[in-house]
């Protein structure tokens, strides 16, 4: 395995008793890359990231983080920020104390007030963790993950439960870290978050990858769709397509070309293309295709 990668996972297996949650999963995240691990509920994303974070042992397989074993916490934790789905803060500590404690435990250095500002928690600095709302706890998780501007940032569903402003603030902070060269690994069920930012995406279902690639590589595996309706008595359109409830639905890998042809035909025939819709394949479509829904 090369040491140029931020994360190297090879044939990772995670088991819970008899249940095989992650099956022979292999992937690499390059340094400076934004990598999104997407998938269905229970696909095994968190289980895989917990191994990468050093929180869970693998049943088998090899995992290297920044060239080290994730179990080598003394070497890895100062360089890696982690926001998993469940935080383990002491309820009696204040927000600021919690951030400082994580800094001490991970041996990362930063200005606690700066980080609380980034996470929108400045006014909550002296509040006990037990008195935070769900969204505020999530922001505290984020604050501790970005404390010290880590080289590698792991974000497991970071925006779940956050209001729009908090989400925007989180992405601003992540984008800044990325501009500074940090590697980002994200899981999310908001596919547009990944579609907008990820350099590459791994799509997981039932413990393993079904696809991996850039957004363009993933979406070009499925056709785009052109749909429209025609007025009564109009001639047949120039390309074959399915007819659903009187509307035409044409699947194509040459969207622009076919659209051009269709518009030319409608113009020449003097026909309206009613409710015309045409759009590139979205990540949601690829996602639905792998899960068979
Ligand atoms: N501690 C555990 N004991 C037993 N089974 C578990 C445990 N943790 C997770 N699982 C099971 O392993 C599978 C993978 O769970 P995991 O949390 O890794 O999925 P995920 O892809 O992160 O899902 P989600 O998108 O719903 O968060 C699920 O079927 C889950 O029920």
Contact status, residue 10 vs residue 61, Cβ threshold 8 Å: yes
CA distance 126 to 96: 6
- Give residue 2's pLDDT: 45
CA distance 70 to 152: 12
Q: What is the reported pLDDT for 139?
A: 94
Select from 196, 213, 230 the last residue of a domain. 213
Same domain, 109 and 140: yes
Same domain, residue pair 170 and 245? no
* Ligand 1 atom with the shortest distance to the CA of 22: 14
User: 47 alpha carbon to ligand 1 midpoint, in Å?
Assistant: 6
CA 228 to centroid of ligand 1, rounded, Å: 42
CA 284 to ligand 1 center in whole angstroms: 22
Minimum CA distance residue for ligand 1 atom 23: 42
Tell whether 246 and 118 lie within a shared domain. Answer: no
Q: How far apart are CA 256 and CA 9, in angstroms?
A: 39
Residue with CA nearest ligand 1 atom 26: 41
Q: pTM higher than 0.90, yes or no?
A: no
* Residue 101, domain extent: 31-47+70-213
β-strands 34-39, 183-187 pairing: parallel
CATH number, domain of 173, equals 3.40.50.300
Q: Are residues 200 and 235 in the same domain?
A: no
Q: Are residues 120 and 258 in the same domain?
A: no
Atom of ligand 1 nearest to the CA of 19: 5
Please write down the HEC assignment for all residues of the chain.
CCCCEEEEEEEEEEEECCEEEEEEEEEEEECCCEEEEEECCCCCHHHHHHHHCCCCCCCEEEEEECCECCCCHHHHHHHEEEECCCCCCCCCCEHHHHHHHHHHHHCCCCCHHHHHHHCCCHHHCCCEHHHCCHHHHHHHHHHHHHCCCCCEEEEECCCCCCCHHHHHHHHHHHHHHHHCCCEEEEECCCHHHHHHHCCEEEEEECCEEEEEECHHHHHCCCCEEEEEECCCCCCCCCCCCEEECCEEEEEECCHHHHHHHHHHHHHHHCCCCEEEEEECCCHHHHHHHHHCC
Distance 84 CA to ligand 1 centre (A): 13
Residues contacting ligand 1 via CB (< 6 Å): 16, 19, 21, 39, 41-47
Burial of 264 (0-12, 13-18, 19+ CB in 10 A): exposed
Count of domains observed in the chain = 2
Residues 143 and 287 in one domain: no
**Do the beta carbons of residue 194 and residue 38 sit within 8 Å?**
yes
Question: Within this chain, do residues 112 and 151 fall inside the same structural domain, yes or no?
Answer: yes
Q: Does the residue 88 lie in any domain?
A: yes
Distance 44 CA to ligand 1 centre (A): 6
Where do we find the tokens 């400076």? 32
- Where among 181, 198, 213 does a domain terminate? 213
Helices 164-179 and 134-146: crossing angle, nearest 10°? 10
Q: Quick one: pLDDT at residue 292?
A: 67
ipTM: 0.97
Residue 17, judged by CB atoms within 10 A of its CB (0-12, 13-18, 19+), counts as exposed
Ordered per-residue pLDDT tens for the chain, 293 residues? 445 799 999 999 999 999 999 999 999 999 999 999 999 999 999 999 999 999 999 999 999 999 999 999 999 999 999 999 877 788 999 999 999 999 999 999 999 999 999 999 999 999 999 999 999 999 999 999 999 999 999 999 999 989 999 999 999 999 999 999 999 999 999 998 999 999 999 999 999 998 899 998 998 888 889 999 998 888 888 888 788 777 899 999 899 999 999 999 999 999 999 999 998 788 888 888 877 65
């Amino acid at each position: 395995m090369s040491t140029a990668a931020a994360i190297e996972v090879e044939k990772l297996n995670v088991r819970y008793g008899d249940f095989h949650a992650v099956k022979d999963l292999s992937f690499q995240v390059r340094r400076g890359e934004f990598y999104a691990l997407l998938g269905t509920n229970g696909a095994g994303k968190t289980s895989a990231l917990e191994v990468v974070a050093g929180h869970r042992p693998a049943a088998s397989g090899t995992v290297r983080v920044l060239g080290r074993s994730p179990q080598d916490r003394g070497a890895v934790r100062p360089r890696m920020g982690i926001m998993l789905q469940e935080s383990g803060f002491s309820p009696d500590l204040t927000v600021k104390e919690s951030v400082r404690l994580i800094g001490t435990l991970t041996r990362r250095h930063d200005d606690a007030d700066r980080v609380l500002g980034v996470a929108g928690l400045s006014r909550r600095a002296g509040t006990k963790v037990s008195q935070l709302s769900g969204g505020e706890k999530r922001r505290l998780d984020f604050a501790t993950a970005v404390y010290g501007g880590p080289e590698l940032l792991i974000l497991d569903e970071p925006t779940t439960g956050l209001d729009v402003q908090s989400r925007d603030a989180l992405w601003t902070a992540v984008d800044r870290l990325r501009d500074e060269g940090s590697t980002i690994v994200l899981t999310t069920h908001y596919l547009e978050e990944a579609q907008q930012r990820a350099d590459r995406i791994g799509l997981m279902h039932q413990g393993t990858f079904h696809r991996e690639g850039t957004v363009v590589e993933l979406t070009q595996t499925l056709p785009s769709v052109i749909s429209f309706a025609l007025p009564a008595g109009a001639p047949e359109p120039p390309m074959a397509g399915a007819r659903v409830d009187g509307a035409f639905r044409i699947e194509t890998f040459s969207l622009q070309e076919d659209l051009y042809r269709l518009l030319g035909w409608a113009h020449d025939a003097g026909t309206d293309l009613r409710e015309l819709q045409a759009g590139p394949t979205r990540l949601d479509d690829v996602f639905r295709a792998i899960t068979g829904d």
